[in-house]
């Protein structure tokens, strides 16, 4: 019995050494809009902007691949996913302005930006 327990404990420890990095889910209030975003990793910043009918969650399979070398920020665009709907308007220019303000609020001065579909228009 003790051998089995030790074997299981060893496998659990080995598995935790190869565990995927933690992806944090956060929000920030920008221009009276709650912007939800995922973040993980360390290093130069990479901003991932989702496409039409998607949310930041579309990037979850890719985020762990980037976290060894980059700080990854994947926001939900305003009015989509867990981000609140702006009271004034929703358009690409306003979304770009709010995403830029989010990034600045995180004290990021320089970042690579990756956009998919409408995310590319916001980028």
* 42-72 pLDDT per residue, tens: 999 999 999 999 999 999 999 999 999 999 9
pTM for this model (two decimals):
0.83
What average pLDDT score do residues 85-106 get?
95
Cα gap 9→23, rounded to integer Å: 25
Average pLDDT, the chain: 88
What pLDDT is attached to residue 21? 82
What average pLDDT score do residues 19-24 get?
84
What pLDDT is attached to residue 49? 98
Q: Please tell me which residue, 90 or 114, carries the higher pLDDT value.
A: 114
Query: Vertex 119, ends 114 and 122: CA angle to 5°?
Result: 100
């Amino acid at each position: 019995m003790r051998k089995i327990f030790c074997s299981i404990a060893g496998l659990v420890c080995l598995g935790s050494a190869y565990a995927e990095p933690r992806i944090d889910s956060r929000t920030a209030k920008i221009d009276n809009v709650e912007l939800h975003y995922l973040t993980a990793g360390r290093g130069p910043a990479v901003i991932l902007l989702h496409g039409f009918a998607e949310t930041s969650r579309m990037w979850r399979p890719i985020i762990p691949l980037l976290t060894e070398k980059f700080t990854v920020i994947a926001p939900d665009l305003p009015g989509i996913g867990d981000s609140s709907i702006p009271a004034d308007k929703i358009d690409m220019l306003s979304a770009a302005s709010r995403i830029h303000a989010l990034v600045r609020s995180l004290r990021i001065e320089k970042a690579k930006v990756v956009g998919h579909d409408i995310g590319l228009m916001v980028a």
